[in-house]
Structure 1
């Protein structure tokens, strides 16, 4: 899987997890936010923390 495909997949996972507006997030930020959501954090709060 290419880097572009991997990023697209992460964005789709984030969208499915309820992390809206993730198009400007980096791969690391997406992974961090998805990890936090997986542990029970609110999706938008996870997005805000990951973008800091």
Structure 2
């Protein structure tokens, strides 16, 4: 899978997880936010923490 495909897949996962506005997030930030959501954090809180 190419880097673009991986990023697209991560964005889809983030969308399904409820992380809104993820199109401007980097691959690294998406992975961190998804990890936080998987551990029980709210999607918006995870996004805010990652963007700091």
**TM-score of Structure 1 vs Structure 2, range by shorter chain:** over 0.9
Matched, 1:35 2:21: no
Deviation >4 Å, runs of 4+ = none
Unpaired segments ≥5 residues, structure 1:
none
User: Equivalent residue of 2:24, what SS?
Assistant: coil
TM (norm. structure 1) is 0.98
CA distance in 2, matches of 1:51, 1:23: 13
Structure whose residues are more often helix by fraction: 2
Structure 2: which 5+ residue stretches go unaligned?
none
| TM-score using structure 2 length | 0.98
Q: CA RMSD in A?
A: 0.4
